Structure 1
Amino acid sequence: MKDYGRRGVMLAAALSALAGYVDAVGFMTLGGFFVSFMSGNSTRLGVGLALGEWMQAAIALGLIGLFVTGVVIGATVARRFGEGRRSAVLAAEAVLLLIGAGLCTAGWREAGMAAVVLAMGVENAVFQREGDVGVGLTYMTGTLVRMGQRLTTALHGGPGWDWAPFLMLWVGLSVGGAIGAISFLHFGVLALWTAFGIVAGLTVLVAGAEARAQGG
């Protein structure tokens, strides 16, 4: 994480918060399924198969497939425009969130949620490096493991604060989830429009920063 600089860490924390927000909205819309947390959906798939709840298993498997498809889309965009052009991946995510929010608002929630899952898969390519995930933005197990490892290093005389960026990612996702749940209780699925607005704004900001960096 320290290789990304302060702006990169802040962007990652903001996107983790967004993932938590969207996941909370999706969780409450879909009645207990996730749009970004595929570990949870994988557990639901296993439980559904074990209990013979075939519809539940099919929904979980479908969501997982959509998420992987989103990752492929995001990784393809990153390769096409260059992994340093984070704005391109953010733009793809914003378009999918726009489609998802629009479909949900029009009453086609299943189709809208499909677009949202794709968007969450795309988001994981924002920090892609050499075709691999640089920073996991929509899941926190690996992040917490890395935080624990950095804490251990600090306790044994290593860098004292390398664990802090990973804590920021986790806090971002958790706080974003709380805000997403509150927003859903007040606005229902219309809360997705806020997510679209945030990603669209981040796209503009990042694109501007990239343009200035190239000009400088």
Structure 2
Amino acid sequence: MLPSSSSTHASPGHLHIQKWRGRIGLSLVAALSVLAGMTDAIGFMASGDFVSFMSGNTTRLAVAISDGDMGLTLRLTILVATFVIGNALGIVVSRLGGRRALPLLLCIATLLCGAAAWPYEEQLPALLAAIIAMGMLNAAVEDVNGLPVGLTYVTGALSRFGRGLGRWMLGERRNGWRVQLIPWAGMFAGAVLGALLEHHLGLRALFVSGLLAGGIGLLSLKIPRRWQLGYMPR
């Protein structure tokens, strides 16, 4: 069961609901992490640029600046800025959609399918559409029962897991740190799947990402409204 500040005084019925809210939330996190990993692997293999892993693009940007490669510097600056814009748009779409996952995920699915259908040899516009989609994805879930989660990046999850492991080694028995492996495992599995798809379909493998986003959005209709409000950014 995921922790909550009021769990020690909650009724058995409330604890049962909280337990299921946590399970459903973590299942949603796992599915969205698979989507993020799949999309990042497809974009990286097709273009050489990361779609959701902006830490990697930031390091590459610094190296490009030190090398004096102005073309790559400009390209990576645009990619990082686009991801920031995608995050901002995710909040806007989330609010306009009443903080429901479906409208947000349908927008993401549209962007990914549009990127896959891009008919021209120049891939940058398709890549930017995919990056906006991944930025927007972070507005789908921000925390589950008070535990922060990341969807398109896993450094924070691994760091929280490692700190929790250290506390466990010192005898502290806090709950929740183990679940930080869920987004990492989801992103890893998604990246493996995305790499396999890209081998066969190239950038058009983003159609699969788009279909997955739409499918997750439809499944989110089964999640109680008040739970969705708890998962999504305020």
1:154 is aligned with what amino acid? Answer: W
Matched, 1:137 2:116: no
Corresponding residue of 1:187: 201
Matched, 1:100 2:109: no
Is contact 1:124–1:135 with CA below 8 Å preserved after alignment?
Answer: no
C-alpha deviation, 1:107, in angstroms: 4.6
3-state SS of 1:2 partner: coil
C-alpha deviation, 1:208, in angstroms: 3.6
Q: How many residues align?
A: 207
Deviates more, 1:65-74 or 1:172-181: 172-181
Matched, 1:45 2:29: no
**Counterparts of 1:111-122 in structure 2 under 5 Å?**
111-122=125-136
Matched, 1:91 2:89: no
**Counterparts of 1:150-189 in structure 2 under 5 Å?**
150-155=164-169, 156-159=171-174, 162-189=176-203
Consecutive unaligned residues in structure 2, runs of 5 or more:
4-20, 229-234
C-alpha deviation, 1:154, in angstroms: 3.0
The counterpart of 2:92, out of the listed 76, 82, 94, is 76
Whole-Å Cα distance in 1 between the matches of residues 227 and 76 of structure 2?
A: 42
Whole-Å Cα distance in 2 between the matches of residues 36 and 189 of structure 1?
A: 15
Structure 1 vs Structure 2 CA RMSD: 2.4
Q: Taking structure 1 as reference, are residues 62 and 212 closer, same or farther at Cα in structure 2, changes over 3 Å only?
A: closer
Corresponding residue of 1:34: 50
TM-score by length of 2: 0.80
Whole-Å Cα distance in 2 between the matches of residues 209 and 171 of structure 1?
A: 23
Q: Taking structure 1 as reference, are residues 211 and 158 closer, same or farther at Cα in structure 2, changes over 3 Å only?
A: closer
Is contact 2:149–2:183 with CA below 8 Å preserved after alignment?
Answer: no
More helix by share: 1
Deviations 1:167-206 (A, max 9, x none): 1211111121111111111111121111111111111110
Structure possessing the higher radius of gyration over alpha carbons: 2
Corresponding residue of 1:21: 38
3-state SS of 2:124 partner: helix
Corresponding residue of 2:11: none
TM-score by length of 1: 0.86
Is contact 2:149–2:180 with CA below 8 Å preserved after alignment?
Answer: no
3-state SS of 1:34 partner: coil
C-alpha deviation, 1:213, in angstroms: 8.0
Is contact 2:31–2:216 with CA below 8 Å preserved after alignment?
Answer: no
